[in-house]
Amino acid sequence: MTNKKKIFAAASIVFFVLLIYASYDISRRTTFPGSKSQLKERINEEYLRDEKRKTDSAELLPDTIK
């Protein structure tokens, strides 16, 4: 092998190792789209629960003001 082929082989190995590392890093930081519930279900669960909603505005005031 000539010197240029050795340099090319080394550079391509380094490139593939960095590509594999980047793919692994990205896959660890993201989640599978099917593992999350749908947007409408999440909104209902987080914001539209009866126990979280206060219907009487007087209940929102601190006790000292009432």
* Residue 59 CA to its chain's centroid (Å): 36
pLDDT computed for residue 60 by the predictor: 63
Q: Tell me if 65 is assigned to some domain.
A: no
Residue with tokens 């909603």: 53
Per residue in 24-55, pLDDT (tens digit) is 999 888 877 666 666 677 777 666 665 555 55
pLDDT computed for residue 55 by the predictor: 58
For the chain, what is the domain count? 1
* Dist. CA 5–CA 16, nearest whole Å: 16
Neighbours of 44 (CB within 10 A): 12
Q: In terms of residue numbers, what domain contains 23?
A: 3-60
pLDDT computed for residue 8 by the predictor: 97
Q: Tell me if 66 is assigned to some domain.
A: no
Per residue in 7-18, pLDDT (tens digit) is 999 999 999 999
pLDDT computed for residue 23 by the predictor: 94
Q: Tell me if 19 is assigned to some domain.
A: yes
- pTM of the predicted model as reported, rounded to 2 decimal places: 0.47
